[in-house]
Structure 1
């Protein structure tokens, strides 16, 4: 790689990349020649670590639990001076999918709201200054987060947490004095992962490359959009 190419190499920071969609995001950016900083919770070996040997120094793995604000702040300090082109917050959990809101355990509901909505926004608020003007800040939402499209119920706690994420991201966008970066909420589709289950219609390969295409297409744009993996607008 020439010095010119090194200067042009872009960097993606993927939060919540230990497995599933997050790990696939890290792998896809590496395939496209990007520098990737990816986080995993805890120190146990995960599928993300399997990418380290082939990627070499293009993959930097950080250990962060996004539900612990002090760990987010420590990551911000470690990355001081590192320009980021894409910040993608992927972390999310689903608990008691088959229960209604009235049936759900309070602790389970609270944990989803913290991990799926509050913590991603804390990450974005803490790390946003690292993202260069013209870059992209994205959060992994879900089609289930659309209030307008909720015609069947199900996954009620998870739906609520993703709708909360969408609302908080919209508030964040409204507070920006000047829009200098694209802000995205991404619905990747129902994908076969540990969380999506074996009955999901999409493989990871059907979703994540297209998600990265959508994020890339928004480089240099400004303002908030809620989009699916095909780049189509999802109703709020």
Structure 2
């Protein structure tokens, strides 16, 4: 039986890292993408320490670099002929700020990572998913639309999910399958940036959320 292949963008920490580890534990081979080499290596070390039957290919690169991502997708096709699952977990959590005081650098970074990269990656990854029966793309919603101080994050994250919703509607009959899941609140670095000082004890572990979401695909 051919080993299943997963592409995880934003795989170095938080839910993306948990997804990569869980998939490797389930026997998938994971192409793990993130800008932070050290974070990816830590994910790989944890998977190896747990004797994960699947393996990881580490791809330390910036998803906003179109040429690099295009080359990666071509390399994935040449080596494996496609991917069975794409988990898009990459996100930029801009600091909370009133709309009238959003820093332009944070705004540009939010648009580049949360919105533009999604729009450029979908056409690159879609052929890889179509090449495999049942190819599935997974997006992770975190709705903060219209909430005060969430302007940069809320607007760009909402735009990302809107793109995913359009793609899902367009591919109902043709594939790939597009799934939008909403994780429970987790003690991630992103959430800590938004809610400093929060009691993190009641929050769900990223590993538990990864298992729950993947089991529903």
TM over 0.5: yes
**1:71-220 correspondence runs (5 A):** 71-81=68-78, 82=80, 83-97=82-96, 99-131=97-129, 132-144=132-144, 147=145, 152-176=147-171, 178-197=173-192, 199=198, 200=200, 201-214=203-216, 216=217
Shift of 1:39: 1.2
SS at structure 2 position matched to 1:153: coil
C-alpha separation in 1, matches of 2:167 and 2:177: 12
TM-score by length of 2: 0.82
CA 1:10/1:56 → structure 2, altered by over 3 Å: closer, same or farther? closer
C-alpha separation in 1, matches of 2:170 and 2:185: 31
SS at structure 2 position matched to 1:79: helix
8 Å CA contact 2:168–2:179 kept in 1: the answer is no
8 Å CA contact 2:24–2:53 kept in 1: the answer is no
C-alpha separation in 1, matches of 2:136 and 2:171: 14
TM-score by length of 1: 0.76
Structure in which a larger fraction of residues adopt helix: 2
8 Å CA contact 2:3–2:29 kept in 1: the answer is yes
C-alpha separation in 2, matches of 1:184 and 1:59: 23
CA 1:56/1:205 → structure 2, altered by over 3 Å: closer, same or farther? closer
Structure in which a larger fraction of residues adopt strand: 1
Shift of 1:121: 2.7
For these two proteins, the number of residue pairs brought into alignment is 203
SS at structure 2 position matched to 1:84: coil
